[in-house]
Amino acid sequence: MDPAAQKLSNTNPALLPQVPTPNPDEKAAVARGDIPMKIDDSLKATMASENEDMQKMHLVASAENFTIQNNPNSSTIGMNIVNDHGKSTDQIRQLGEKIENASLPKQLTEALTERISRLALIRQSAGFMSSTFIIEYEQTSHYVNWIVNMPWNKESKDILDLTKAKEIMDKSHYGLEPLKQRVLEYIASLMLNIKNNKSSDNIVKAPILCIVGLAGTGKTTFAKALADSLGRSFERVAFGGMVDSRVLRGQSRYFPDAEPGAIIKKLTHAKTKNPVICLDELDRVTETARADIMGVLIEILDPEQNIAFTDHYIDYPFSLQNVIFIGTANNISSVSTAVLDRLEIIHMPSYNDEEKIVIGRDFVLPKTMKLTGLLPTQLQIDQDVWGALVRPLG
């Protein structure tokens, strides 16, 4: 043990090895501050290196703590950046490669490239461990991932077969012949447009259908049958209880945890720019947000405006002219007149007792027995009983 330690009961022992003198009394005096300490150049370099290491450790801990507190779901990204200087450069390069490999509009590519360059400058000036760089990287990475995954040029091929379309609708819905006939006319109109136009971008938009009927009559599933008839992806946007127009249009990416709106999300999920999107329960938005939501709906549905729909998060126009929108509602009295002017209302009639019996006997019962594992011989319902089942109160 260093003899000076016996003379310094109230002195930090870690200071003793840094005192450049072999004399125990002098070392103790220097450590107590009684006499000045002479430090040679080599010791200065060692102490400077240790001080720099301590500062780096403090910065890393601060950056990690800031990242976890402000974005718990993305803390892994921040940890990766602050732990490895080389990895931060690789991650920036990977973002650039994603942009290069994606088929994006020229102006959007240039804007993203400029943002990547800005990110590199922040890393160079503020440091790869700085909270500024971590936050900027997370926002940029999130934004780029949404952009490159959007279906800018991806389009599914339509199945334009009226006979097959009728078979699909008959399989999913019993009766409803007037509604099926109107949908077949819609598909026939689409076929003529495609036949007379070489590019799908020049197709004249057919009227936007809106199915109105009581709850539980199969409005949404009929919209799904339309998508299946055309061979298109089907997506659904629920308007029931919607409280903010930003649910549709998105929020500026400069806000924490900002994301695109429902329209862009559904297009990205569909992976094509021409899905069938069901705007479900248009009449059930909240009263306080109805005006704003209907305003966004007009932009989405109007062919003159939706050719350049701009989501607040994406902040770049995206054409919705290839999307087939189909609305549903229980009651159109609460839907704005401006929106109704852009819709073709089709009323879905309620089923009569005879139709309910056929649906229950030929569709619901076999499906239910299959789900429960019952064999046809294990459960049989007499024809006379069905009347009481569909109208239990008489």
Determine the Cα–Cα distance for residues 172 and 180; give it in Å rounded to an integer: 11
More confident residue, 79 or 96: 96
**Would you say residue 372 lies in a domain?**
yes
Q: What is the mean pLDDT of residues 267-286?
A: 94
Q: How confident is the model at residue 28 (pLDDT cuts 50, 70, 90)?
A: low
pLDDT of 295 reads 93
More confident residue, 36 or 276: 276
Bridge partners for 211 per DSSP: 328, 346
**Would you say residue 28 lies in a domain?**
yes
Question: Cα 244 to the chain's mean position, in Å?
Answer: 16
Q: How confident is the model at residue 14 (pLDDT cuts 50, 70, 90)?
A: very low
**Would you say residue 154 lies in a domain?**
no
- Domain containing 299 — which CATH number? 3.40.50.300
Which stretch, 44-53, 74-83, 134-143, has highest mean pLDDT? 134-143
Same domain, 90 and 230: no
Same domain, 343 and 225: yes
Taking the CB of residue 283, how many other CB atoms lie within 10 A of it?
A: 17
**Would you say residue 132 lies in a domain?**
yes
- Can you spell out the DSSP letters for 66-98? HHHHH-GGGHHHHHHHHH-HHHHHHHHHHHHHH
pTM: 0.72
H or E segment and range at residue 238: strand 234-238
Determine the Cα–Cα distance for residues 150 and 321; give it in Å rounded to an integer: 15
**Would you say residue 8 lies in a domain?**
yes
Same domain, 198 and 223: yes
pLDDT of 172 reads 84
Q: How confident is the model at residue 379 (pLDDT cuts 50, 70, 90)?
A: confident
pLDDT of 13 reads 47
Domain count, the chain: 4
**Would you say residue 191 lies in a domain?**
yes
Average pLDDT, the chain: 79
- Can you spell out the DSSP letters for 299-363? HHH-TTTGGGEE-TTT-SEE--TT-EEEEEES-GGGS-HHHHTTEEEEE-PPP-HHHHHHHIIII
- Can you spell out the DSSP letters for 170-237? HHH-SS-HHHHHHHHHHHHHHHHHHHH-SSGGGPPPPPEEEEE--TTSSHHHHHHHHHHHHT--EEEE
Determine the Cα–Cα distance for residues 55 and 49; give it in Å rounded to an integer: 10
**Is the confidence at residue 101, as pLDDT, over 70?**
yes
Residue 157 has which token pair? 């091929």
pLDDT of 279 reads 96
Residue 289 has which token pair? 């947000």
- The model's pLDDT over 283-325, given as tens digits with 9 standing for 90+, comes to 999 888 889 999 999 999 998 899 999 999 999 999 999 999 9
- The model's pLDDT over 234-250, given as tens digits with 9 standing for 90+, comes to 999 999 989 999 999 99
- What b-and-e string marks burial along 232-262, b requiring 16 or more CB atoms within 10 Å of the CB? bbbbbbebeebeebbbbbbbebeeeebbbbb
Residue type, 198: K
Q: How confident is the model at residue 70 (pLDDT cuts 50, 70, 90)?
A: very low
pLDDT of 198 reads 55
**Would you say residue 157 lies in a domain?**
no
**Would you say residue 217 lies in a domain?**
yes
Q: Which domain holds residue 366?
A: 353-390
What are the backbone dihedrals phi and psi of residue 80, each rounded to the nearest 5 degrees, phi first?
-65, -40
More confident residue, 202 or 366: 366
**Is the confidence at residue 27, as pLDDT, over 70?**
no
- The model's pLDDT over 80-93, given as tens digits with 9 standing for 90+, comes to 433 444 555 778 88
Indicate the residue among 92, 126, 149 that finishes a domain.
149
- Can you spell out the DSSP letters for 250-279? ---TTSTT----HHHHHHHHHTSSS-EEEE
Between 150-154, 363-367, 388-392, the lowest mean confidence (pLDDT) is in 388-392
Q: What is the mean pLDDT of residues 64-81?
A: 41
Residue 363 has which token pair? 């569709």
Task: DSSP letter for 280, please.
Answer: E
**Is the confidence at residue 193, as pLDDT, over 70?**
yes
- Pairing between β-strand 317-318 and β-strand 309-310 as defined by DSSP bridges: antiparallel
Bridge partners for 212 per DSSP: 329, 347
Same domain, 186 and 172: yes
Same domain, 320 and 215: yes
- The model's pLDDT over 29-61, given as tens digits with 9 standing for 90+, comes to 555 555 555 555 555 555 555 455 444 444 444
Indicate the residue among 149, 173, 194 that finishes a domain.
149
More confident residue, 230 or 130: 230
Q: What is the mean pLDDT of residues 98-108?
A: 90
More confident residue, 72 or 111: 111
- Pairing between β-strand 309-310 and β-strand 343-347 as defined by DSSP bridges: unpaired
Between 22-31, 140-149, 193-202, 295-304, the lowest mean confidence (pLDDT) is in 22-31
Tracing tokens 């199969």 back to the chain, one arrives at 218
Whether residue 151 contacts residue 273, with contact meaning beta carbons closer than 8 Å, is answered with: yes
Same domain, 79 and 185: no
- The model's pLDDT over 208-236, given as tens digits with 9 standing for 90+, comes to 899 999 888 889 998 999 999 889 999 99
Closest residue by Cα to residue 32 from 17, 46, 18, 12:
12
Angle in degrees, CA 264, 267, 270, rounded to 5: 150
- The model's pLDDT over 161-189, given as tens digits with 9 standing for 90+, comes to 889 999 998 888 888 888 889 888 888 88
Same domain, 293 and 265: yes
Same domain, 202 and 330: yes
Tracing tokens 């329960």 back to the chain, one arrives at 281
Angle in degrees, 0-180, between the axes of helices 162-172 and 219-230, rounded to the nearest 10: 150
Same domain, 338 and 204: yes
Same domain, 172 and 249: yes
Same domain, 231 and 309: yes
Same domain, 55 and 202: no
